[in-house]
Structure 1
């Protein structure tokens, strides 16, 4: 019997993984970690073993991992020392006698040429896991299709898309489909030091996104591939905070350099169906 612990289980991705696992294996085989007592109690009522813990408290992590075979480490946010938090989880898993660890990494082309420093943490975490001696599964997930409204803004249908992304492409996939695939792997496939690349079946530029939105809405949606300096100046006038602006520029720079353009078939193979295409995803995300 493979007992699986999902960290970050009440976040967007973690909740999809947990809910999918509940449909596949007995609830008693599922453990979760959350930082919120009300959510812990809710999951406990579903029959799942829920623990109150977070990545900054190694003792609580180790206690939650008692009797666990496989830990899914869902990457931390960027509010704290993310790399140290990831190490805390891996180290706690080793001390608790966990056999396998899985990690939600990122599907990026070349770690040595990334503009976004936050993304380098993913590769350093992969290195740390591979050096830990634990059997591992790495889920390299593409940029969520769900993030498109955040990048192009809520007014894109009226104002168009204005980004310094050039003709760079992304093989977008929906977060829920990647979460479902991760659960399927955890429940059905033995951990064997394997890396999965979860991407959509085609890569799209922001010009393609503009065209798809035009067709879906019946309104002309333009895409302006702005110069970075012009974009930064425009966004500063809107009052955006500098840390957020830098994060957006770093993300989009890597897109311009096609860091997220590679297409793999792993997601389709695991799901047993084709992942949702861009136009269908945008229809859902924008309510069109």
Structure 2
């Protein structure tokens, strides 16, 4: 890899990728796109090739891909039409003669039985990449350990416990920063052979395991109570959460209940050169305990 464009460079995952890349290549070999002019200027001041725009700005995409041999497409959020946004990046990479496209997908057990349509969109993007004919690398990342506070309600869980319709479903959580580090190691050291990498923790944890870990870390007894979907939806209404958002959360948790996120591989550990951060240590970091 001689030069790379990192989309989503200002996010936590993109930042982790870039900081690892900088250990082996110069900043002027890295191009970035950001929606924020202040952040663009900050990147430029550090020696990056920095462009102002987003996945819908075709002119910016074209400019940013000039002379680039690798594009890392960090998946878009769900605020807009992210399938179209992904297609914009992929199509431009084809047009500009990019030699290699990498994409951040999700590690799910069975795409055909997913409830969460946002996860389905990852696999539709994978399909489009294959159809494009571009040499590719797909990073199927597990659910971020950093997201646990969002599921349990942050430190409030220490007092009220965890109530979720997740049953005994497990997730092979891993820290976002470690997945970003491993992705960068692949991009730096592996040849592009149309490979798929599945980056997960080396253990899978239920929310009961999370409650036990929080108990050990805080000294307070934290309980996990599995609840029905209808009960959880009623809780969300009491908190004035919009129905559409509640449905997204329920779909996400239902896939967890169905063990869609429980796959374990050793690939993250291999590319880190160490064991991934375990649950107790990770919770200390993400909840500042």
CA RMSD, Structure 1 to Structure 2 (Å):
0.9
For 2:164 and 2:24, locate their aligned partners in 1 and report how far apart those are by CA, in whole Å. 42
2:110 corresponding residue in structure 1: 110
Look up the match of 2:284: 283
Instruction: Name which of structure 1's ranges 221-230 and 24-33 shifts more when overlaid on structure 2.
Output: 24-33
SS in structure 1 of the partner of residue 151 of structure 2: helix
**Residue equivalent to 2:31:** 31
Q: Distance in 2 between matches of 1:278 and 1:161?
A: 16
Name the SS for the 2:10 alignment partner.
Answer: coil
CA distance in 2, matches of 1:188, 1:31: 19
Using the alignment, how far apart are the partners of 1:2 and 1:93 within structure 2?
Answer: 16
Alpha-carbon separation, structure 1, partners of 2:27 and 2:239:
48
**4+ aligned runs moved over 2 Å, structure 1:** none
Q: How does 1:47-126 map to 2 (within 5 A)?
A: 47-126=47-126
Partner of 1:195: 196
Query: Aligned partners of 2:189, 2:50: CA distance in 1, in Å?
Result: 22
The equivalent of 1:40 in structure 2 is 40
TM-score, length basis structure 2: 0.98
SS at match of 2:236: helix
CA distance in 2, matches of 1:282, 1:34: 30
Q: Deviations over 1:224-269 (max 9, x none)?
A: 0001111111221121111221111011000000000010111000
What is the alpha-carbon distance in structure 2 between the residues aligned to residue 45 and residue 101 of structure 1? 27
- 1:116-169 CA-to-partner distances (Å, cap 9, x unmatched) read 011111000000001111100000000000000000102100000000000000
Please give the per-residue CA displacement for 1:26-83, whole angstroms capped at 9, x wherever unaligned: 1121111111111111011111111112101222201110000000000000011100
Partner of 1:243: 244
The whole-number CA distance in structure 2 between the counterparts of 1:142 and 1:235 is 26
For 1:81-230, list aligned pairs within 5 A.
Answer: 81-154=81-154, 155-230=156-231
Structure 1 contact 59–92 (Cα < 8 Å) conserved: no
SS class of match (1:157): helix
In structure 2, stretches of 5+ residues that fail to align are none
Alpha carbons 1:35, 1:54 under 8 Å: kept: yes
CA distance in 2, matches of 1:123, 1:228: 26
